[in-house]
Amino acid sequence: MPVKRQQTSEPTSTFEDLEVWQAARSLRKKLSELVKRLPADERYRLTDQILRASRSVTANIAEGYGRFHYQENIQFCRQARGSLFELIDHFSVLQDEGFLDEGEFDRLRSDTFQVIRMLNGYIRYLQRRKAGLVQS
């Protein structure tokens, strides 16, 4: 017999509701379009690294959200932050190799630092929740 889910008026909150995840997703989509312009010989080098790092950001935010303890969530967010800094390094490689002009580099770097700032704010929020300083 199939199980019928109970309907409620309150939507279920998920990681998809987090502004930081939404911003990271937007960045990931931009980077997916960017790597399509790279030469074929970069497919298994820089293209792969950029895609993996950008996907790691959203995946780690999502996985952390699904953890029971605040400290685990914080740790996954720190992993996501590391991947964001990795992306900035990849942007410099793109620029050095002539695949990215200065304006595009500046925009991507700025977009990435915006996500980092949002993620830092989310981490601070989680730390305050863990300490009992913020109620749900």
Cα–Cα distance for residue pair 96/106, rounded to 1 Å: 13
* Cβ–Cβ under 8 Å, residues 24 and 61: yes
Residue 46 lies in a domain: yes
pLDDT of residue 1: 43
Residue 122 has pLDDT above 80, yes or no: yes
To the nearest whole percent, how much of the chain has pLDDT over 90? 85
Would the CA dihedral through 89, 100, 109, 55 be positive or negative?
A: negative
- CATH code of residue 73: 1.20.1440.60
pLDDT value, residue 43: 84
Query: Does the global pTM surpass 0.85?
Result: yes
Note whether residue 4 is domain-resident. Answer: no
Higher confidence at residue 11 or residue 54? 54
Q: How many domains is the chain built from?
A: 1
| 3 part of a folded domain | no
Q: Is pLDDT above 60 for 6?
A: no
Query: Residue 104 and residue 14: Cα distance in Å, rounded?
Result: 32
Domain that holds residue 41: 17-130
